[in-house]
Amino acid sequence: MKIYPSTDYMKLARRCRNSRRSYLFVNPLQAKHIPAAPSEALAMMYSLGNEIKNHYSTVDLVIGFAETATAIGLSVSHALHAPYIHTTRESLENEKEWIIFREEHSHAQEQKLYGEFLKERCANARTIVLVDDELSTGKTVRNMIYQLRREYRELSETKFIAASILYRLNEDSEKEMERMGIESIYLSRLPELDYETAVSQWETNEPDPICMADPSENEPCFSGIPGDNPRLGIVPEHYLAAWDAYTQRICGNLGQPSGRNILVLGTEECMMPALILGKRLESMGNRVRCHATTRSPIGISTKEAYPIFRGRQLHSFYDEKRVTYIYDLAKYDLALVVSDAGSWKEKAARSLRGALREQGCEKLIWIGGNRDVQHLSP
**178 and 239 fall within a common domain:** no
Contact 264, 274 (CB under 8 A): yes
**250 and 182 fall within a common domain:** no
**365 and 289 fall within a common domain:** yes
Helices and strands, counts by H and E, the chain: 9, 17
pLDDT at 374: 43
Q: How far is CA 104 from the centre of its chain?
A: 18
**148 and 269 fall within a common domain:** no
**Domain end: 195, 230, 251, which one?**
195
Range of the domain at 342: 220-376
The tally of domains found in the chain comes to 2
Structural domain includes residue 80:
yes
Structural domain includes residue 205:
no
Structural domain includes residue 211:
no
SS3 for 307-376 is CCCCEEEEECCCCCCCEEEEECCCCCCEEEEECCCCCCCHHHHHHHHHHHHHCCCCCEEEECCCCCCEEE
Structural domain includes residue 291:
yes
pLDDT at 103: 59
**179 and 300 fall within a common domain:** no
**131 and 74 fall within a common domain:** yes
Give Cβ neighbours of residue 43 (< 8 Å, ≥ 6 apart).
none
**256 and 190 fall within a common domain:** no
Structural domain includes residue 210:
no
Task: Give per-residue pLDDT as tens, 161-195.
Answer: 999 999 999 999 999 999 999 999 999 999 888 99
Averaged pLDDT, 123-133: 96
**Domain end: 150, 180, 195, which one?**
195
Domain at 129, CATH number: 3.40.50.2020
Task: Give per-residue pLDDT as tens, 30-65.
Answer: 999 999 999 999 999 999 999 999 999 999 999 999
pLDDT at 100: 87
Task: Give per-residue pLDDT as tens, 61-111.
Answer: 999 999 999 999 999 999 999 999 999 999 877 667 899 886 554 444 688
pLDDT at 378: 46
Q: How confident is the model at residue 371 (pLDDT cuts 50, 70, 90)?
A: very low
Structural domain includes residue 349:
yes
pLDDT at 104: 53
Q: Looking at per-residue confidence, does 214 or 95 come out higher?
A: 214
pLDDT at 289: 98
Give Cβ neighbours of residue 157 (< 8 Å, ≥ 6 apart).
none
**281 and 187 fall within a common domain:** no
Please give the radius of gyration of the chain, using alpha carbons only, rounded to the nearest integer: 20
pLDDT at 97: 85
- In whole angstroms, give the CA distance from residue 366 to residue 264: 10
What global pTM score does this model have? 0.94
**42 and 183 fall within a common domain:** yes
Task: Give per-residue pLDDT as tens, 255-282.
Answer: 888 999 999 999 999 999 999 999 999 9
- Share the mean pLDDT of the chain: 91
Task: Give per-residue pLDDT as tens, 287-331.
Answer: 999 999 999 999 999 999 899 999 999 999 999 999 999 999 999
Structural domain includes residue 326:
yes
Contact 193, 21 (CB under 8 A): no
pLDDT at 5: 66
Q: How confident is the model at residue 343 (pLDDT cuts 50, 70, 90)?
A: confident
**130 and 226 fall within a common domain:** no
pLDDT at 256: 87
Q: What angle do CA 172, 175, 181 make, to 5 degrees?
A: 150
**Domain end: 195, 228, 261, which one?**
195
Domain at 340, CATH number: 3.40.50
- In whole angstroms, give the CA distance from residue 317 to residue 266: 11
pLDDT above 80: residue 377: no
**190 and 225 fall within a common domain:** no
Averaged pLDDT, 211-221: 89
**132 and 268 fall within a common domain:** no
pLDDT at 109: 61
Structural domain includes residue 209:
no
Q: Looking at per-residue confidence, does 1 or 155 come out higher?
A: 155
pLDDT above 60: residue 114: yes
